[in-house]
Chains A and B, each alone.
Chain A
Amino acid sequence: MTLKLPIYMDNHATTPVDPRVLEAMLPYFTQVFGNAASRSHSFGWTAEKAVEAARDQVGALIGASGKEIVWTSGATESDNLAIKGAAEFQKDRGNHIITAQTEHKAVLDTCKRLEKEGFEVTYLPVGKDGRVSAESVRAAMTDKTTVVSIMLANNEIGTVNPINEIGAVVKEKGAVFHVDAVQGAGKVPFDVNAARVDLASLSAHKMYGPKGVGALYVRRKPRVRITAQIDGGGHERGMRSGTLNVPAIVGFGKAAEIGRTEMASEAARLLALRERLRQGIQSQVEHTFVNGSMEHRLPGNINISFAYVEGEAMLMALKDVAVSSGSACTSASLEPSYVLRAIGVDEELAHTSIRFGLGRFNTEEEVDYVTALVVGKVKKLRELSPLYEMAQQGIDLKSIVWAAH
């Protein structure tokens, strides 16, 4: 097989739709096109039946019942609905929310909005390994804590949190436990009962399903109540109004089913590819640092800082490979990744980080190509780097007084 360029290794951003998923979706555009809320004819009934089957498929992925799945437009909406919905519903009981500094912006910005509305939010620090400890959650909880939101796996450094331990702590105090499971679901085992989760956000396009559809798991026993954020026809048991995107939901269901049945074999394959990539790079390039825990990590993720080489220049050098960087230059803010800063990575090393996200369709051949390319380009860019030259001359870069700009 010949190598096809460009190579996609940014599977935390999004994933391609699995052909099996697409095949399942196609009839629902042109043949079974009914509105799942139409109760008066067979078009509506068949659409509804397909939606219910998908509910069971998505529920099964996380150990839940299909009845506990609420469809949304995606994970950002799910995070908003979960946190705002639960916080608002319980505001007579308390106004304190706990989350972590490394959460996705959909969670952090939702919490910031609630702060403006009078809620108090604790943003827990994480360890150098990138994980939130159950102890830190316990220490932050007060009688006023109503919602705790902690992600299953991080989107930048792929670290997996001890969700089961955190869930036990949250339940001791009786707060609502929300988990942003977007990056971890379908990749690592996650069971809403084992982790005692009340609300969990999911996204189809991170697991080889279509974009534009997500889900919020809402526990039924004991029942978890949330305030709806979108009002209308009372769809999804009143929690999320709006006509359902039936073809996308069918695709999400199929994607979740494949994720569940193939998780173990795929994880093993991705782990082997990931290690081939990591070892290939680290055995040939000096001064590289893996960001975040190696032990508790998504199998397809590796995030590496290449000292003395700026991340965006690396992205430019790897122009036939889609990866991403925590470098400030890739964002409008000019600030390097807040996740890397939260795990204590120096700003200069944060600027040199590259995230590789391996997925279902990556091959060993692609990994070998990328390894060789990275090794060559780092060498070239270090020849260009004044910092590398100074380090080679034995100059301690930290001893220099730099003019910040």
Chain B
Amino acid sequence: MAYSEKVIEHYENPRNVGSFDKDDPSVGTGLVGAPACGDVMKLQLKISDLGIIEDAKFKTFGCGSAIASSSLATEWVKGMSIDQAMAIKNTQIVEELNLPPVKIHCSVLAEDAIKSAIADYKAKRQKTT
């Protein structure tokens, strides 16, 4: 299968690879996918008290499209409010990366990872307040 230039570019130079301390109350962690399915994404968001995503990091086990989708997601969410990040749709990722139909699940996983990280952050906030 031929990859789009954007997928290759993200794959070769992934943005925001790494981890935050998952116990930090300002960090939301999303871990989605399953090893048996060949895709696992971990996306972490560092969110300010005002609800702005100040930083994002990811690690992904998966194909080039999965790595590119999560790399792109971290790039997009930085500086966004929680509501803006929640509004990101997988179809926007598909469009940006020119993903073929067989790789659409990679973009779905990235959208799920964002939502899951925000849900984790909100759950943490509720506990502490």
Contact = CB atoms under 8 A, between A and B. Distances in A.
Interface of A: 308-313, 316, 327-330, 332, 334, 336, 346-348, 351, 383-389, 397, 402-405
23 contacts: A308-B61, A310-B38, A310-B63, A311-B38, A312-B64, A316-B11, A316-B63, A328-B38, A332-B102, A334-B38, A346-B36, A347-B37, A351-B35, A383-B17, A384-B17, A385-B59, A389-B19, A402-B33, A402-B40, A403-B34, A404-B37, A405-B33, A405-B39
A347 B61 CA distance: 14
The 4 A-B pairs of least Cβ separation, nearest first, read A402-B34, A348-B35, A386-B42, A312-B63
A405 B34 contact: yes
Given A386-B31, A387-B61, A327 B38 contact: yes
A204 to B, nearest CB: 28
Interface in B11-50: 11, 14, 17, 19, 31-42
B19 A402 contact: no
Nearest to A328: B38
Given A348-B35, A351-B38, A402-B36, A384 B63 contact: no
Contacts of B108: 405
Nearest to A401: B34
Most chain A CB inside 10 Å of its own CB: which residue of B1, B37, B66: B37
A405 B105 contact: yes
Most chain A CB inside 10 Å of its own CB: which residue of B1, B38, B39, B105: B38
A403 B19 contact: no
Nearest to A387: B61
A36 B64 CA distance: 51
Given A310-B38, A336-B38, A403 B61 contact: no
B97 interface: no
A316 B38 CA distance: 15
A316 B64 contact: yes
Given A389-B19, A402-B35, A309 B64 contact: no
Nearest to A351: B38
Contacts of B1: 330
A324 B86 CA distance: 38
B60 interface: yes
B59 A389 contact: yes
B35 A405 contact: no
A330 B3 CA distance: 12
B79 interface: no
Interface in B90-114: 102, 105, 108-109
A332 B42 CA distance: 25
B118 to A, nearest CB: 17
A6 to B, nearest CB: 15
Nearest to B41: A386
Contacts of B60: 384-386
B119 to A, nearest CB: 13
A334 B42 CA distance: 21
Most chain A CB inside 10 Å of its own CB: which residue of B1, B19, B36, B39: B36
A313 B35 contact: no
Interface in B66-88: 66-67
A17 B81 CA distance: 60
Given A316-B11, A384-B17, A405 B109 contact: yes
A310 B38 CA distance: 6
Contacts of B67: 313, 384
A347 B31 contact: no
B40 A387 contact: yes
A402 B34 CA distance: 5
A99 B96 CA distance: 47
Given A312-B64, A402-B33, A386 B59 contact: yes
A388 B40 CA distance: 11
Contacts of A327: 38, 63
A242 B35 CA distance: 49
Contact of A404 (B19, B36, B59): B36
Contact of B61 (A328, A336, A346, A386): A386
A288 to B, nearest CB: 16
B3 A403 contact: no
A313 B14 CA distance: 13
A389 B22 CA distance: 13
Nearest to B108: A405
B23 to A, nearest CB: 13
Contact of B63 (A308, A329, A387): A329
B6 to A, nearest CB: 14
Given A309-B61, A386-B61, A347 B17 contact: no
